[in-house]
Amino acid sequence: MMRQICIVILWLGIAILCISCQKQQKSQFQVTPQKSTDILQLTLHSYDGKTECKNFIQAYGHTFLEMTNLTNQPIDVYQYSVAPHASVTFSWWAVDRHMGIWFNLEPWYIDLYQRYETRSSVSIYIDENDLMTINTYMKENDRYSPFDNCSKMSLTCFNLVAEAQEKITMPLITTPNYVVSQLKQFKECVVAKPISSYGEIGYRTKTGFQFYRMEEREK
Amino acid sequence: MRKVGNIIFSIIGPILLYLAIGNTYRGITGVTLIGENRAHFLGYYMIASAYFALLLMVIILLVLVNRKRRKKNERKNCKTSKL
């Protein structure tokens, strides 16, 4: 019996070694330049959690989206009004009051708690039709589960409006680590891109918005 | 087999327990949101419960293997005593 276990472990080791030694195919993604019809800049941010690991307790990172209004008119993103040349961030969160889309949590987290410091980001440009697609997607997918997590939902949302050479393939289980590895293949990938949106934190309800503020602790 | 199982469990068990407790602690000491009611982030609790579930599965597996082994030994002993 022991011999059999040893053989199985040996084969497993060889298989892992072979997989890890495989040369990874590097696909080259490219961002399409801004067109005259584009009204928003959509940025996909992802952080792999490596710098937040403490005492061997792993941090699993986070993926979120940022939208910047490029026009001189306010734009509604899932009924959240974005002022001209202002930004809004959103992602899918597991919070007891609402399991789903939360707005503007990330900028406050970054500002108050120095989180997501080594995040990777890529920006693309989208037009009005793309915004409608995103709004419909957000309306139909305002929910969270470990499988429908921040990375999967944000990446799906990004892929819905991305051009062919900007689309990122979706694995069975999408993690922030995977999104980071894909974003780094873009020539336009930026590390620790500043976020200027400090709008109110909240989520959409049937009647309007429920707003919150982040607890501040002494450093 | 029983010995191997016990050795593996004595390594994996404390690691899983440490990860489960560590993630629970992170969840408890995590940031909250202040509004009409306080809102809490559940991410670390979800990870902790996954580790607890894994630990429970390992314990159940070990108990089942040990029980099976014990029954086998009992049957073997019965046969030898009859002889």
Q: What is the ipTM of this complex?
A: 0.79
What is the pTM for the complete model shown? 0.85
Name the region of A67 (left: φ>0; alpha: ψ -120 to 50; beta: rest).
beta
Mutate which: A2, A57, A105, A109, vs B, most B CBs within 10 A? A57
Position A183 pLDDT exceeds 90? yes
Distance CA A78, CA A132 (A): 9
Q: Shortest Cα distance from A54 to chain B (angstroms)?
A: 10
Give the start-to-end residue ranges of the domains of chain A.
38-212
Predicted pLDDT of residue B10 = 85
Average the pLDDT over each of A97-101, A166-170, A198-202 and give the range with the smallest value.
Answer: A198-202
Q: Do strands B32-34 and A209-214 pair parallel, antiparallel, or not at all (unpaired)?
A: antiparallel
Residue window 12-71, chain B: list those with CB within 8 Å of chain A: 18-19, 22-23, 26, 31-37, 39-43, 46-47, 50
Residue A138 has pLDDT above 80, yes or no: yes
What pLDDT is attached to residue A16? 62
Q: Are the C-beta atoms of A153 and A137 separated by less than 8 Å?
A: no
Judged on CB neighbours under 10 Å (0-12, 13-18, 19+), B58 is middle
Taking an 8 Å cut-off on Cβ atoms, the answer to whether A96 and B47 are in contact is no
Confidence band (pLDDT; 50, 70, 90) for A58? confident
Greater model confidence, A6 or B40? B40
Contact list in A for residue B22 (CB cut-off 8 A) is 55-57
Q: What tens digit of pLDDT does each residue of A112-124 get? A: 998 999 999 999 9
A-chain residue closest to B22, CA distance: A57
pLDDT value for A178:
95
Cα–Cα distance for residue pair A183/B9, rounded to 1 Å: 39
Under the banding of pLDDT at 50, 70 and 90, the label for residue A202 is very high
Provide the pLDDT for residue A8.
Answer: 66
Q: Look at the alpha carbons of A123, A131, A168, A178 in this order and tell me if their dihedral is positive or negative.
A: positive
Residue A29's nearest CA partner among A213, A208, A182 is A182
Residues of A in contact with B40 (CB under 8 A): 95-96
> Does the CB of A148 have a partner CB in chain B at under 8 Å?
no
| Residue A44: strand pairing partners | A65, A122
Residues A31-52: pLDDT tens digits? 999 999 999 999 999 999 999 8
